[in-house]
């Protein structure tokens, strides 16, 4: 087919090369898929998309599918048909999906059909969306810094470079097998799982049931060697009554949110290996990785740049803290639809360069330490506080699992610092305040402190600030 | 431990472990624990699995069992009583 890109050819060739090999195990459905199974499913879908009438060549196709063989096949099927896949959360609200499709100009939605294991293709009317960047082969959905859902358009060069950087930096080999606990539709798992499967033939085990005993059993039975996951699951697994070392597991990757050192060390005490922090963004894929994996890696350190990635700091202050800027062949073509330019604190994509909204500094060993977000500087009557600095102090208090510090209005002209802390029941507000007073300038000690069991997080594992504010009003 | 004692302890664990802003007595034994009034989500549910296993020495092997056991405080107390009888016999 004329619209087939190099990436599509490479994925197709790889699936054929692994015709007889089991590439995907769906632990909950009890099914396995070989390269040939995935290839045939993708060809069938390619025909249906091409025949659906609504979506011409080059059109965007939303894939609203849970973690499954069908999702992987649908990605390849779109490529085979010369369409551009846009994976979305399978449980996305209908109105949010409509908005996203309208904004991006998607022409079809692939979703589960009534019949078990089947998918349905629904064509959408031609929308009046802006023209996408040329050369896009994938749209990744991102919440962005403003919370407004939009997509990031990636070229095949960017995707191939991104996954090559991950494979090389993390030392992934064909014998590895990932245990998947995170949504394949999100950038993190798309790169670490879907692309390592399609381009490197690395098998994946899908687990939708995350009950600790069940997940540990699946990991054991499937002999998973790599676990790309998120901090809250790392914490829950380490505290499970069934937790004991998994002999085949050699690499646990933590991304999406900061991993508290206490949670990392508790996991290490039980499983004998230390989760490695992986820092990345939808706009550029992986940025940095904790290559050391030793006990001395401090809170906030996200490791050294991935192979092929250069990290710079823009407008660094006297402490070396500046906006993190990423130079890499894995940087996306652009946002789609494009973001309104010029707003302070917004991320920015230009060819090969991604200006993040994160603030960081580099140490002598070349490791990146994140200290906050560009937007997250709280101004207390002219004195500036980076919440991350206060959060680090609070996270070091014994019994504290996680913390977030932010500014709340104390009057119409002034903000006060507020801390919401996820901690064991034994931790008191007084203990938190004392720890802050002992290590921070007086004005950096939060004025109000609230203790909760868990910080509210979105489906993407990001802090849910709206929920946080709502719970604050009640508390 | 009798069933009412288990139910009471379960509510205490729920409130203290998940830091709910209600008292144990305000939780209705027959109402769903998750997905309704208390505003708890799937992350809370995984957390509660770990807490319940630890407190009562029971085993929650998968999501289906968790869903049944967490249908209500009543259901959870029945589940704990049953598992303990099973373990004792």
Q: Is residue A145 part of a domain?
A: no
Kindly state whether residues A163 and A210 are assigned to the same domain: yes
Q: What is the mean pLDDT of residues B2-28?
A: 88
pLDDT for the residue A10: 94
* Tokens of residue A221, six digits: 């039975």
Within the 4-33 window of chain B, which residues sit less than 8 Å (CB to CB) from chain A? 16-21
Kindly state whether residues A11 and A87 are assigned to the same domain: yes
Burial A258-294 (b: 16+ CB within 10 A, else e): bbbbbbbebbbeebebbbbbbbbbbbbbbbbbbeebe
pLDDT-derived band at A176, boundaries 50, 70, 90:
very high
Instruction: Judge whether residue A340 has pLDDT over 80.
Output: no
Q: What is the mean pLDDT of residues A365-371?
A: 94
CATH number of the domain where residue A249 is located: 3.40.50.12780
Q: Is residue A139 part of a domain?
A: no
Please give the residue that has the higher pLDDT: either A207 or B40: A207
Kindly state whether residues A390 and A453 are assigned to the same domain: yes
pLDDT for the residue A376: 66
Kindly state whether residues A407 and A292 are assigned to the same domain: no
Question: Which chain A residue's Cα is nearest to B42?
Answer: A210
Which pLDDT tens digit goes with each residue over A10-59?
999 999 999 999 999 999 999 999 999 999 999 999 999 888 776 788 89
Q: Of A345, A374, A403, which closes a domain?
A: A374
Question: Which chain A residue's Cα is nearest to B41?
Answer: A456
CATH number of the domain where residue A434 is located: 3.30.300.30
Kindly state whether residues A339 and A382 are assigned to the same domain: no
Write out the residue range of the structural domain in which residue A197 sits.
159-374
pLDDT for the residue A297: 95
Which pLDDT tens digit goes with each residue over A400-443?
999 999 887 665 445 778 899 999 989 998 899 899 888 877 77
Among residues of chain A, what percentage have pLDDT more than 70? 91
pLDDT for the residue A219: 97
pLDDT for the residue B38: 63
pLDDT for the residue B86: 86
pLDDT for the residue A14: 95
CATH number of the domain where residue A30 is located: 3.40.50.980
The length of chain B in residues reads 89
Q: What is the mean pLDDT of residues A83-102?
A: 87
Question: Which chain A residue's Cα is nearest to B66?
Answer: A211
Kindly state whether residues A334 and A263 are assigned to the same domain: yes
**How many CB atoms are closer than 10 A to CB A145?**
16
Kindly state whether residues A266 and A192 are assigned to the same domain: yes
Q: Is residue A148 part of a domain?
A: no
Q: Which candidate from B16, B54, B61 shows the least CB-CB separation from A425?
A: B16
Cβ distance of A453 and B19 shorter than 8 Å: yes
Q: Is residue A140 part of a domain?
A: no
Question: What residues of chain A have any CB closer than 8 angstroms to a CB in chain B?
Answer: 209-214, 217, 232-233, 236, 239-242, 422, 425, 451-454, 457, 474-475
pLDDT-derived band at A2, boundaries 50, 70, 90:
very low
pLDDT-derived band at B37, boundaries 50, 70, 90:
low
Domains of chain B from N-terminus onward = 3-88 (1.10.1200.10)
Instruction: Judge whether residue B84 has pLDDT over 60.
Output: yes
* Number of folded domains that form chain A: 3
Kindly state whether residues A409 and A428 are assigned to the same domain: yes
Closest chain A C-alpha to B20 CA, distance in angstroms: 8
Contact call for residues A371 and A360 (beta carbons, < 8 A): yes
Kindly state whether residues A358 and A391 are assigned to the same domain: no
Q: Is residue A193 part of a domain?
A: yes
Which pLDDT tens digit goes with each residue over A206-239?
999 999 999 999 999 999 999 999 988 999 999 9
Q: What is the mean pLDDT of residues B73-86?
A: 94
Please give the residue that has the higher pLDDT: either B87 or A415: B87
Kindly state whether residues A381 and A310 are assigned to the same domain: no
Kindly state whether residues A171 and A192 are assigned to the same domain: yes
Which pLDDT tens digit goes with each residue over A275-318?
999 999 999 999 999 999 999 999 899 999 999 999 999 988 88
Q: According to the per-residue pLDDT averaged within each range, which of A302-316, A362-376, A388-402 is highest?
A: A302-316
Q: Which candidate from B16, B20, B63 shows the least CB-CB separation from A211?
A: B63
Q: Is residue A135 part of a domain?
A: no
Q: Is residue A134 part of a domain?
A: no
Q: Of A343, A374, A405, which closes a domain?
A: A374
Kindly state whether residues A446 and A361 are assigned to the same domain: no
Q: Is residue A170 part of a domain?
A: yes
Q: Of A79, A108, A129, which closes a domain?
A: A129
What is the rounded average pLDDT for all residues in chain A? 88
Interface test with A, best of B43, B52, B56, B59 (most A CBs within 10 A): B43
Instruction: Judge whether residue A474 has pLDDT over 60.
Output: no
């Amino acid at each position: 087919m004329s619209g087939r890109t190099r990436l599509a050819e490479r994925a197709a060739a790889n699936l054929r090369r692994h015709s007889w090999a089991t590439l995907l195990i769906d632990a909950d459905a009890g099914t396995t898929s070989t390269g040939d199974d995935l290839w045939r499913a993708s060809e069938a879908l390619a025909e249906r998309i091409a025949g659906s009438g609504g979506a011409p060549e080059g059109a965007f196709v939303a894939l609203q599918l849970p973690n499954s063989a069908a999702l992987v096949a649908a990605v390849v099927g779109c490529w085979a048909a010369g369409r551009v896949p846009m994976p979305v959360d399978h449980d996305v609200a209908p109105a949010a999906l409509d908005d996203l499709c309208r904004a991006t100009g998607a022409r079809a939605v692939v979703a589960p059909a009534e019949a078990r294991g089947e998918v349905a293709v629904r064509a959408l009317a031609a929308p009046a969306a802006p023209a996408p960047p040329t050369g896009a082969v994938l749209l990744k959905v991102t919440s962005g810094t403003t919370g407004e859902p939009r997509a990031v358009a990636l070229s095949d060069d960017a995707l191939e470079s991104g996954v090559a950087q991950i494979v090389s930096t993390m030392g992934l080999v064909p014998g590895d097998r990932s245990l998947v606990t995170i949504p394949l539709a999100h950038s993190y798992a798309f790169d670490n799982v879907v692309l390592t499967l399609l381009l490197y033939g690395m098998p994946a085990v899908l687990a939708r049931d995350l009950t600790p005993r069940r997940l540990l059993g699946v990991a054991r039975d499937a002999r998973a060697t790599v676990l790309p996951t998120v901090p809250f699951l790392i914490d829950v697994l380490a505290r499970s009554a069934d937790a004991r070392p998994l002999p085949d597991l050699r690499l646990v990757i933590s991304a999406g949110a900061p991993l508290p050192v206490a949670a990392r060390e508790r996991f290490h005490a039980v499983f004998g290996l230390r989760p490695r922090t992986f820092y990345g963004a939808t706009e550029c894929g992986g940025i940095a990785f904790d290559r050391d994996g030793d006990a001395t890696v401090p809170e906030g350190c996200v490791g050294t740049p991935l192979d092929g990635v250069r990290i710079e700091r823009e407008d660094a202050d006297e402490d070396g803290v500046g906006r993190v800027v990423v130079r890499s062949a894995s940087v996306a073509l652009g946002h789609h639809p494009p973001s309104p330019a010029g707003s302070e604190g917004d991320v920015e994509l230009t060819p090969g360069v991604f200006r993040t909204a994160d603030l960081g500094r580099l140490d002598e060993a070349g490791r990146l330490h994140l200290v906050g977000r560009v937007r997250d500087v709280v101004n207390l009557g002219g004195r500036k506080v980076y919440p991350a600095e206060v959060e680090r102090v609070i996270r070091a208090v014994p019994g504290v699992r996680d913390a977030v510090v932010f500014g709340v209005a104390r009057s119409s002209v002034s903000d006060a610092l507020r801390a919401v802390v996820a901690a064991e029941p034994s931790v008191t507000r007084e203990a938190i305040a004392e720890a802050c007073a002992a290590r921070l300038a007086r004005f950096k000690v939060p004025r109000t402190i609230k203790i909760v069991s868990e910080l509210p997080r979105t489906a993407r594992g990001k802090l849910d600030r709206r929920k946080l504010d709502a719970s604050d009003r009640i508390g | 431990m009798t069933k009412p004692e288990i139910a009471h302890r379960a509510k205490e664990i729920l409130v203290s472990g998940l830091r709910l802003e209600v008292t144990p007595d305000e939780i209705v034994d027959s109402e769903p624990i998750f997905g309704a009034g208390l505003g708890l989500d799937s992350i809370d549910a995984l957390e509660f699995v770990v807490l319940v296993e630890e407190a009562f020495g029971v085993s929650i092997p998968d999501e289906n069992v968790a869903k049944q056991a967490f249908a209500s405080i009543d259901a959870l107390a029945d589940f704990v009583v049953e598992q303990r009888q099973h373990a004792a016999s």
